[in-house]
Amino acid sequence: MIGGVCTQTGTIPSKTLREAVLYLTGYAMRGLYGESYRVKQDITVQDLLARTHFVIGREEEVIRAQLQRNRVDLYSGAGRFLDEHTVEVLGEQLGERSDGRVFRGEHQTITAERIVIATGTRPARPSQVEFDDHRVVDSDGILAMERIPSSMVVVGAGVIGIEYASMFAALGTRVTVVERRPTMLDFCDAEVVESLKFHLRDLAVTFRFGEEVAGVAVSDRGTITTLASGKKIPAETVMYSAGRQGVTDELGVARAGLEADARGRLKVDEHFRTAVPHIYAVGDVIGFPALAATSMEQGRQAAYHAFGEQVHSAAGITPFGIYTFPEVSYCGATEAELTEAAIPYEVGISRYRELARGQIVGDDYGMLKLLVSPESHALLGVHVFGTSATELVHVGQAIMGCGGTVDYLVDAVLNYPTLSEAYKVAALDATNKIRALEQFA
């Protein structure tokens, strides 16, 4: 799979689908034209997937061309270690599984001084659930769906589950989210998560927190999901999003002197070296944060280290983007983390409905929140909810990365009318609160 999960089954397909849903459902414009506004009335799977296949195809071409341009040889097939310097590539798709099954096929043997493992993850499939890639699917199976279901159960309120729940809810599917824990997206700002839940409920999403799936029964007419509490939820489709498993079982890592954990992940040091120093591992196969951007950066860091080049990392301030409806993004600390660490902060808030650009684009729910140190005026965290959140967050990230303060935003002149103006409004809000404090000093 050229481009991996990112290009073929994960990031790019899901974000292209989302863009198609946003456009065709008219979701982003409903604030202006009313809740019943639609660009297309009967949206089909073909409408959504046509755009997705087009983008995947183009991305694949770009990656192939870049590999060629940089003189990178590409072997298609499943690689597995023969020893710590040798990888055998089987011409067929699969290699050797942990159960000892070996696949036939053409094979090549490649030796190398240094090796980087970037084999990623696949969706974890609980053993008690029978996936049929039709009624009971995971995030890979969603891309092969034949029609938009009228109802859906999403098991797991992690990032992938909630992104797909948003998309289907906007398409008019009645979505029920079942999550074992009492809350969701705990790593994000609590106020933002509350707003997100409110908006998803408004799209007719039902949340079942603190509930466990006991079983899923499938028939010609659909599925019945039974919860441990005895509740039964009928739905056309069930989508499991219950975590991901590192793809190391076919790799024969033991022959290279390595051991994966129970979730198939490899341990690395700060230079992304495994226990065998000339073998590096990067990306989802090493676990958190398991994002496309961090995976790419880890690969760059590993390559620099492998060849003794100096490399600088700004990974301390990594942005997180969640492409829900509305979207969420943040970098730096949350209020909960600062409170836990007893670090004082002041909050500056700007609401999109008070920005001219917010009115123009019809976003009256968005907000930007700055967490600011009252002593040094440094930005400690930036949290954005609403239109273009995943783009806007980078302004705050750049200021934080360069050691800037909220004072810069107070003094800066920003284009008008823009959503970026939210930074100035939030900065003024935080500064006013800090000034009020200083009057008592």
Ligand X SMILES: Cc1cc2nc3c(=O)[nH]c(=O)nc-3n(C[C@H](O)[C@H](O)[C@H](O)COP(=O)(O)OP(=O)(O)OC[C@H]3O[C@@H](n4cnc5c(N)ncnc54)[C@H](O)[C@@H]3O)c2cc1C
Going by the annotation, the residues of the binding site for FAD are: 15, 79, 284
**To 10 degrees, the CA torsion angle through 150, 151, 155, 158?**
60
Closest contact distance (angstroms) between CB of 86 and ligand X is 14
10 binds ligand X (CB under 6 A): yes
Of 207, 272, 323, 385, which one interacts with ligand X (CB under 6 A)?
323
| Class of residue 423 by CB neighbours under 10 A (exposed 0-12, middle 13-18, buried 19+) | buried
Closest contact distance (angstroms) between CB of 246 and ligand X is 9
DSSP classification of residue 42:
S
**Residue showing tokens 């939030």:** 426
Query: 146: which 2 tokens?
Result: 């034949």
What values do phi and psi take at 90, rounded to 5?
-85, 135
Of 29, 275, 276, 293, which one interacts with ligand X (CB under 6 A)?
293
Q: Which residue, 31 or 95, is less far from ligand X as judged by CB?
A: 95
Of 78, 169, 361, 379, which one interacts with ligand X (CB under 6 A)?
78
Strand partners, 108: 89
**Residue showing tokens 């770009």:** 62
Q: Which residue, 5 or 426, is less far from ligand X as judged by CB?
A: 5
Q: Which residue, 78 or 384, is less far from ligand X as judged by CB?
A: 78
Query: 108: which 2 tokens?
Result: 């090549």
Q: Which residue, 36 or 70, is less far from ligand X as judged by CB?
A: 70
Measure the N-to-C terminal CA separation of the chain; round to a whole number of Å. Answer: 61
14 binds ligand X (CB under 6 A): yes
Nearest of 175, 171, 202 to residue 25 by alpha carbon = 171
Q: Which residue, 15 or 394, is less far from ligand X as judged by CB?
A: 15
284 binds ligand X (CB under 6 A): yes
240 binds ligand X (CB under 6 A): no
79 binds ligand X (CB under 6 A): yes
26 binds ligand X (CB under 6 A): no
Which amino acid is it at 425?
A: V
Question: Which residues, 136 to 175, sit near ligand X by CB under 6 A?
Answer: 139, 160
Distance CA 89, CA 100 (A): 17
DSSP classification of residue 405:
B
Nearest of 234, 46, 219 to residue 132 by alpha carbon = 219
Query: 402: which 2 tokens?
Result: 């360069």
Q: Which stretch binds ligand X (CB under 6 A): 192-200, 279-287, 304-312, 354-362?
A: 279-287
Closest contact distance (angstroms) between CB of 130 and ligand X is 21
Given the rule CB under 6 A, which residues bind ligand X? 1, 4-6, 10-11, 14-15, 78-80, 95, 118-121, 139, 160, 247, 250-251, 283-285, 290-293, 295, 323
